[in-house]
Homo-oligomer: A and B are copies of this chain.
């Protein structure tokens, strides 16, 4: 439970040259990749630092050279995912302002990111409580921004008469977010259901309803 950030100022770090194209930053990446896989499959608590190092064909010493603590690594993973989320939201908000289009876009984007960042997402939702209190608050805040985007678009749709007036934007948002977030439990990239098809079905269900 060590505090303190480990943000290494990339700009001030002189990169060392290693033989035959070896890049020391790769070890960091492979440690993260190793952790992503292990955390996703067995959870944060049941994955030891030793195992993370082993899987990356390194040692604990190397791990603790690159990360302050196990928590620090978790934090890194969470932020990696959140940054991607926020960037994508911004892109959608810069596009069409038709509420229907926006909601459909948001659904599709959410599902895409679940498929793409599967391990990140799983870890994000399952291991949030392992963060320190203040870090948890920060992560929750950023996550709230994503949900606010949903809520804002729906509220906008209601205000402009595109959506039914008796829709409660907060509740509808919870439903939408849940629908999409839950996909991390069952949606696999190689599976029988394509992301686009799922997105289309979800949009149709939510926008037009199931009724014939």
Contact = CB atoms under 8 A, between A and B. Distances in A.
B174 A205 contact: no
A25 interface: no
Contacts of A202: 171, 175
Interface in A68-104: 100, 103
A179 interface: yes
Q: Give the residue among A163, A170, A175, A186 with the most B Cβ atoms within 10 A.
A: A175
Contacts of A42: 129
A28 to B, nearest CB: 26
A180 interface: yes
Given A174-B183, A175-B202, A201-B168, A154 B45 contact: no
A114 to B, nearest CB: 11
Nearest to A184: B178
A167 B206 contact: no
Interface string A151-175: 0001001000111111110111011
Contact of A175 (B46, B165, B201): B201
Contact of A181 (B163, B164, B182, B193): B182
A4 interface: no
Contact of A163 (B165, B178, B183, B212): B212
Interface in A112-155: 126, 129-130, 154
B154 A172 contact: no
A210 B157 contact: yes
Interface of A: 41-43, 45-46, 100, 103, 126, 129-130, 154, 157, 161-168, 170-172, 174-183, 185-187, 193, 197-198, 201-202, 204-212
